[in-house]
Amino acid sequence: MLILGIESSCDETAAAVLEDGTRLRSSIINSQIDVHRKYGGVVPELASRRHIEDIYPVVQEALDKADVTLDRIDGLAVTRGPGLVGCLLVGLSFAKAISFVKKIPYVGVDHMTGHLLSVFLEESKPDFPFVALVASGGHSSIFFVSDPVTFHIMGRTRDDAAGEAFDKVAKLLGLEYPGGPAVSRLAKNGDSRAISFPRAWLSPESLDFSFSGLKTAVANFVQRNNRKGIFPNVPDICASFQEAVVDVLVQKIIRAAGLTGVKSIVMAGGVAANERLREVMRERCDIKGFKVFMPSLEFCTDNAAMIALAGHYFFESASTLTHDMDVYSRSLGFPEWHEEEK
């Protein structure tokens, strides 16, 4: 079965062709970083317009690279949400048009589901069930994953997501956009113990995240030193901030694994590309006896390969969409985890 995946939830226009859920025949990603860099963040209206310009050539390039035409495609998988509504509508409308004209069935994929399953694009795959951390600019959540289409949420961010905190701290420090890679790059030359930034553990049993206070602590530290005429070492700030985020993310996902009794931990999403996070996750999982699985860097950020893969599983287990189906800006939600479900 050949599936064409389409992703346009934020500032990447992406398309991919996946064969039988295992062979990735093409994956094309067109980033809009250069468009949004001067604004220090994604401008939704500009992102939507760029998706309109790029969607056709990106999809055509994916088909060409896969050496197929639309007549060979058996199913379409497109991101329905969460994301920027204007951006999502471009991808969904394009998929609907193809479906209507070519009579190809299509499924809508939740963006978070794509990230949860992205690790299955790699050779090394976890066994079900497992727990997964999805950390990105818009999400910081922990899931219990029973099978390819059944997820329970165990924890989520209460305010700023991890990636959002990276971007805001980078902007505060006058670093370039996107902020995550800029902070990570400078952190390599800094001392992670130089500044004792807070960790928001919340209640002892909580698996939720909160990074707003950490972001504020960085801002207060910089402002306090500036008033004194002291200009602190930026790499030290980056390293200390990064370590605080990594510490919380790793400890909470390992706690979730312990609560559920699973042996495998998956980490996905844009923040999962962070070198320090990957390093600490491997180290602590080795100590605790868990197997950790992470997608390669190209599949951590938004891509259509993970959407095509999720679509593959949906075609096997769910009905296709009607042409009046709409997008959604926030997640439709996953069932809550209850400890007695273990």
pLDDT digits (tens, 9 = 90+) for 104-162: 999 999 999 999 999 999 999 999 999 999 999 888 999 999 999 999 999 999 999 99
State the pLDDT at residue 105.
94
Taking the domains of the chain in order of start, what are their residue ranges?
Answer: 2-116+300-337, 123-294
Residue 20's CB is within 10 A of a number of other CB atoms, namely 10
Enter the DSSP assignment of 323: T
Please give the average per-residue pLDDT across 300-310, as a whole number: 97
DSSP string, 105-141: -EEEEEHHHHHHHGGGGSSS-PPSSEEEEEESSS-EE
More confident site: 203 or 71: 71
Question: Domain 123-294 is in which class?
Answer: alpha beta
State the pLDDT at residue 322.
63
On whether the CB atoms of residues 212 and 199 are closer than 8 A, the answer is no
**Chain centroid to CA 295: how far?**
11
Residue 319, pLDDT above cutoff 90: no
Question: Domain 2-116+300-337 is in which class?
Answer: alpha beta
Q: To the nearest 10°, the Cα dihedral for 128, 131, 135, 139? A: 100
Mean pLDDT of the chain: 93
Residue 342, pLDDT above cutoff 50: no
More confident site: 258 or 336: 258
Please give the average per-residue pLDDT across 56-62, as a whole number: 98
State the pLDDT at residue 340.
47
Please give the average per-residue pLDDT across 81-89, as a whole number: 95
- In the chain, the N- to C-terminal Cα span, in Å, equals 35
pLDDT digits (tens, 9 = 90+) for 207-235: 999 999 999 999 999 999 988 888 889 99
Spatial separation of the C-alpha atoms in residues 205 and 108, rounded to whole Å: 34
For residue 91, what are the CA distances in angstroms to 110, 189, 307, 326? 13, 41, 12, 11
Residue type, 73: I
Provide, rounded to the nearest whole percent, the portion of the chain with pLDDT above 90: 85
Residue type, 278: R
Q: Which residues pair with 131 in a beta bridge?
A: 144, 265
State the pLDDT at residue 109.
93
pLDDT digits (tens, 9 = 90+) for 175-210: 998 899 999 999 999 999 999 999 999 988 899 999
The structure tokens 């809009």 sit at: 32
Asked if the domains 2-116+300-337 and 123-294 are classified in one and the same CATH topology, the answer is yes
Spatial separation of the C-alpha atoms in residues 116 and 151, rounded to whole Å: 9
Residue type, 226: N
On whether the CB atoms of residues 309 and 1 are closer than 8 A, the answer is no
Provide, rounded to the nearest whole percent, the portion of the chain with pLDDT above 70: 96
Spatial separation of the C-alpha atoms in residues 6 and 91, rounded to whole Å: 6
- Residue 58's nearest CA partner among 102, 27, 21 is 27
